[in-house]
């Protein structure tokens, strides 16, 4: 198969009995791009970035070849606009955001995020590939002439002497999010940005408002106004983990679990019948454990707590005054992981 500047052969590794993709550039003068891809991939460790297996030089060409993990899954897509489609949509975006977050944390800017450069592997894991335009943060960050894909490229990339940052990947991620929704992107977005697009909240998928806000921000014209990919990843992860947390509340005489099936609990301490009373009510809203009620002074990790605050994932709750009548409880939250 052919890409924009390369040839890719699907081969069988007879020793390890697996399919691999071997990539060569068409023009020896473009060999630098292949070497850039090798440099970008060789130290990256991410579940959502294609793996590099080997590099060799083909003396018959002569040119370098790069042996890559073969992604045999289908093109990314969702179907319909129901709850299942929204869950798949968020799952795909979460995996892409995870791969980009890993890249950015290791100093790599992809610069060509688009649907054609993202695919599922044989087990359904979404992975980013094609690093021919990748660069390292703060290194050679000026481009001469346009490099990227029209429609996905951030506005700041069109000038011939553009400087790029991780924000260009965030913009492309926002465009990808629109394409994956199954609806045609607005004319203000493609092929070249013109004006402000409608909000993601207008899509039939009914994307949660906090995620819509971040995706809208990803398409900001000013690079500094775009959220980080890690922030996007966190919001997408929170949606996928909704309702799966468990809180364990331990007192001197009881152990209680707070979760989606038993979402609220109330602790009460009285110093005597009809006397002083200390109360804390905790509620699980599907995302976090929130203090819904407080009566008198209640401490969390030795700090006064108020209604509306989110409890830490691990803390000590203290009820009672400075006298002998005091009660303590420990509260711990499980750390669920996204299952793909």
Among residues 259, 234, 260, which one has the least CA distance to residue 247? 259
Angle, helices 167-180 vs 209-218, to 10°: value is 130
Same fold, 6-69 and 247-333: no
Can you give the pLDDT at residue 276? 83
Check pLDDT > 90 for residue 147: no
Mean pLDDT of 5-32: 80
Pairing of strands 298-300, 314-320: antiparallel
Determine the Cα–Cα distance for residues 138 and 190; give it in Å rounded to an integer. Answer: 29
Query: Is pLDDT above 50 for 143?
Result: no
Packing angle of the helix pair 229-240, 167-180 (nearest 10 deg): 40
Q: The tokens 């490099």 sit on which residue?
A: 147
- Across 306-322, average pLDDT: 93
Local structure of 158: helix, strand or coil: coil
Share of the chain residues as helix, strand and coil, in percent rounded to the nearest 5: 25, 30, 45
Closest CA to 128 of 152, 111, 147: 111
Q: What is the pLDDT of residues 177-201, one digit of tens each?
A: 999 998 888 989 877 788 889 999 9
The predicted pLDDT at position 279 comes to 95
List 319's β-bridge partners, or say none.
298, 327
Distance CA 267, CA 93 (A): 40
CATH code of the domain made up of 6-69: 3.30.200.20
- Is the pLDDT score of 111 beyond 60? yes
User: Could you identify the residue written with the tokens 């001197």?
Assistant: 252
Please say if 112 is a catalytic residue: yes
Give residue 226's pLDDT.
97
Beta strands 126-128 and 135-136, pairing class: unpaired
Average per-residue pLDDT for the chain: 86
Domain 247-333 in this protein, CATH class: mainly beta
pLDDT digits (tens, 9 = 90+) for 204-244: 999 999 999 999 999 999 999 999 999 999 999 999 999 99
Domain ranges of the chain: 6-69, 83-240, 247-333
Q: Other CB atoms closer than 10 Å to residue 238's CB: what's the count? A: 17
Which range among 56-65, 142-151, 246-255, 328-337 shows the weakest confidence by mean pLDDT? 142-151
Catalytic residue among 26, 27, 112, 161: 112
When pLDDT is averaged across residues 297-305 and rounded to a whole number, the result is 95
Per-residue confidence (pLDDT) for residue 132, from 0 to 100 = 62
Per-residue pLDDT tens for 266-299? 999 987 777 789 999 999 999 999 999 999 989 9
CATH of domain 83-240: 1.10.510.10
Q: Which helix (H) or strand (E) holds 179?
A: helix 167-180
Nearest to 166 by CA among 135, 126, 190: 135
Instruction: Report the pLDDT value the prediction gives residue 139, as an integer from 0 to 100.
Output: 46
Q: Is the pLDDT score of 63 beyond 60?
A: yes
pLDDT tens string 316-335: 999 987 666 889 999 999 98
């Amino acid at each position: 198969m052919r890409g924009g500047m390369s040839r890719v052969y699907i081969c069988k590794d007879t020793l390890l009995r697996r399919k691999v993709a071997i990539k060569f550039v068409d023009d020896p003068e473009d060999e630098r791009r292949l070497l850039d891809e090798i440099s970008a991939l060789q130290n990256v460790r991410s579940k959502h970035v294609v793996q590099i297996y080997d590099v060799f030089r083909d003396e018959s060409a002569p040119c370098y070849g790069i042996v890559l993990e073969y992604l045999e899954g289908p093109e990314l897509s969702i179907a319909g606009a129901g709850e299942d489609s929204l869950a798949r949509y968020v799952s795909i975006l979460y995996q892409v955001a995870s791969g980009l977050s890993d890249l950015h944390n290791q100093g790599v800017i992809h610069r060509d995020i688009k649907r054609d450069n993202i695919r599922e592997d044989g087990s359904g894991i979404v992975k980013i590939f094609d690093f021919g335009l990748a660069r390292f943060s703060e290194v050679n960050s000026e481009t001469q002439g346009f490099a990227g894909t029209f429609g996905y490229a951030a506005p700041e990339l069109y000038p011939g002497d553009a400087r790029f940052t991780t924000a260009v990947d965030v913009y492309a991620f926002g465009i990808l999010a629109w394409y994956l929704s199954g609806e045609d992107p607005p004319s203000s977005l493609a092929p070249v940005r013109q004006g402000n697009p409608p909000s993601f909240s207008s899509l039939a998928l009914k994307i949660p408002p906090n995620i819509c806000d971040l995706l809208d921000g990803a398409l900001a014209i000013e690079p500094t106004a775009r959220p980080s990919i890690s922030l996007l990843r966190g919001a997408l992860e929170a949606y996928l983990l909704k309702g799966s947390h468990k809180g364990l509340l331990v007192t001197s005489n009881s152990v209680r679990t707070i979760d989606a099936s038993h979402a609220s609990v109330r602790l009460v301490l009285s110093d005597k019948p009809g006397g002083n009373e200390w109360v804390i009510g905790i509620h699980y809203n599907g995302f976090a454990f929130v203090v819904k009620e407080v009566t008198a002074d209640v401490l969390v990790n030795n700090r006064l707590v108020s209604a509306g605050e989110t409890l830490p994932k691990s803390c000590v709750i203290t009820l009672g005054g400075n006298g002998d009548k005091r009660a303590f409880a420990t509260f711990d939250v499980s750390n669920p992981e996204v299952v793909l």
